[in-house]
Amino acid sequence: MVKSYVKKQVTSDWLAEELDGNHRPSRENVIIAVDQSLVDGQVVSYNSNKEIQAYSGAVSEVAAGIYTGKSVTTDSSNTANGVIVARIAKVVAENLVFKDGLTAGQEAAALDDLAKINITLVRLAYLA
């Protein structure tokens, strides 16, 4: 069951709440793999080099978090630095970004992976 949540402070449309504390403990600094185009709220996974990539729904792929920050694009020879929400957060599922072409089943599998790292879903109720 999805719980409703009233957003206290706007950081991103998809992020309702994250773990408070020094240095934002819900987040991790990461390296973004080559040939990637990520936007704020994009569901991501790790590749075999332990670099972040857009979650593509492959059978053995595991969603590892949600990219946060300005849009970034890497080319075929350069990586980039970035940040993901990697644990203990509440997110608005309908505002997350998935790679084009994913099925509803692949998106559901990604959300299940995120739940395993305590990134859970809420319904957002904005105050008027």
What residue ranges do the domains of the chain occupy?
A: 3-124
Task: Provide the 8-state DSSP code for 2.
Answer: P
Q: Which pLDDT belongs to residue 10? A: 46
124: nearest Cα among 27, 25, 9? 9
Query: What pLDDT does residue 41 have?
Result: 97
Task: Find the angle CA(36)-CA(18)-CA(63) to the nearest 5 degrees.
Answer: 35
pTM to 2 decimals? 0.86
Per-residue pLDDT of the chain (128 residues; tens, 9 = 90+): 555 545 455 468 899 888 777 767 899 999 999 999 999 999 999 999 999 999 999 999 999 999 999 999 999 999 999 999 999 999 999 999 999 999 999 999 999 999 999 999 987 655 54
CATH number belonging to the domain at 3-124, selected among 3.30.2130.10, 3.40.220.10, 3.10.180.10, 2.40.300.10: 2.40.300.10
